[in-house]
Amino acid sequence: MELHFLLPLFASLLFVFVFLKKFIQSNNRRLPLPPGTMGWPYVGETFHLYSQNPNVFFASKQKRYGSVFKTHILGCPCVMISSPEAAKFVLVTKAHLFKPTFPASKERMLGKQAIFFSQGQYHTQLRRLVLRAFMPESIKSIISNIESIAQHSLHSLQGRLITTFQEMKTYTFNVALLSILGEEEVLYRGDLKRCYYILEQGYNSMPINVPGTFFNKSMKARKELARILAKIISTRRQMKMEHNDLLGSFMGDKECLSDQQIADNVIGVIFAARDTTASVLTWIIKYLGDNPSVLKAVTDEQEAIIREKEKCGEEQCLSWADTKKMPITSRVIQETLRVASILSFTFREAVEDVEYEGYLIPKGWKVLPLFRNIHHSPEIFPDPEKFDPSRFEVVPKPNTFMPFGNGTHSCPGNELAKLEILIFLHHLTTKYRWSMVGSNSGIQYGPFALPQNGLPIRLIRKS
């Protein structure tokens, strides 16, 4: 009797549940999309974004439509959000509703099993492995190697007219390989660099895989990169030696990562570690050149470290403790990250229909928190276009300064990036002077914002 009584009750509850689910889904579909324009078919507004100052694109959209608006870039329908509260909603509070993603071209080039595109337990595993290789205790051991790369780089550039961004890319690429392969990186640097430089040309291309396109050439280079990495992995397995670098962390016996998973993540780390850090260094050199009083303050701070070491009879090579005696230089890095906003936005994808502020973010649409808009908001940072490192003497409010992202998918390599910048600036400011050549007021885009022509400078050794 009890069973006969319960069955109709269960059936009724099931009916109500199905009805409510359909009602909610139907109601979501009736929610309006955010305001905005989608541009041309397929191409959307990609060229509009990447051909000009991104501040102009983002600010004009925000002024016209508010802090939430739709657009279409790199073949993807997108919702862009430009407030600290919205960024927190997507990256932290409701992070489970938005998976990390990139446009299709980047996903295929980096590899779909890279940390950028993963979630859940697999992402947790990858993040732990990357952090293990990049945590302070690990990167302390390569400070002398990074310093050697910085000194050699600067020595090779002195007395020449150079394109700063291109030379900084070489420096950061070599540091990235050091962190991934340890001292073995010199054995493979040439081949890896040749392939990667072809690969990067297609990062922001349309995913059209026909002969002659950037995408096609990049995919061929990616296959060759994977073959080189497979050879390195095979050699290490035969040698049966432990390594404390990132590749060694990925290859741990307990991790059970396939060669393809390892290759995807190594290529991904190179991508994350190279151009962004090189862009930051380029902007720092420009801002220091434009602001003599700030340059003097940084130089005085760095020279004080040298004098203290001489007074104590210590070797001149930098230590981890020395890098903690650079507060002014660190604030210069922070302010550069804010003003230049190298990472203008990040990509997420809605895993289901999501409501935000009365608008529908459809499942499958990309969602882009606009870090640049937040970093340039006069309500958050007064006189936002002014380069003023002293503003970071006070810790910014939560969710207002996100140069490395936010939440569980924030950049796990930020400590290494800051370390290699500090080491480079120590030797640059204490041993060299530079002058900018030509007009230094213009900005070029594609995709990172950079000083015009990559900032041509002439580097001279101090007497």
What is the DSSP secondary structure assignment for residue 363, as one 8-state letter? T
Q: Which amino acids are annotated as binding site, given as ranges?
A: 411
3 state SS of 354 = strand
Handedness of CA 88, 89, 95, 100 (dihedral sign): negative
Q: Identify any residues that bridge with 450 across adjacent strands, giving them in sequence order.
A: 444
- DSSP element (H, E) containing 302: helix 292-311
Contact (CB, 8 A) for 272 and 146: no
Instruction: Fill in the DSSP letter of residue 379.
Output: T
Contact present, 417 and 277 (Cβ < 8 Å): yes
Q: Detail the DSSP E strand segments found in 32-155.
A: 68-73, 76-81, 98-100
- Residues 254, 95, 330, 153, CA torsion sign: positive
Identify any residues that bridge with 458 across adjacent strands, giving them in sequence order.
161, 435
Tokens of 134: 């990049």
Per DSSP, the three-state class of 245 is: coil
SS3 category, 460: strand
For residue 455, the SS3 value is coil
Radius of gyration of the chain (CA): 24
Cα 260 from chain centroid (whole Å): 22
Pairing of strands 76-81, 366-369: parallel
Q: Cite the annotated binding site for heme by residue number.
A: 411
CA angle 173, 177, 182 (to 5 degrees): 150
How far apart, in whole angstroms, are the C-alpha atoms of residue 120 and residue 99?
Answer: 10
Nearest to 67, CA basis, from 374, 352, 366, 363: 374
In terms of Cα–Cα distance, which of 322, 321, 337 is closest to 389?
337
Task: Judge whether 430 and 306 are in contact, CB under 8 Å.
Answer: yes
Both tokens assigned to 360: 């529908």
Rounded to 5 degrees, φ, ψ at 74 are: 50, 40
- Adjacent-strand bridge partners of 350: 98
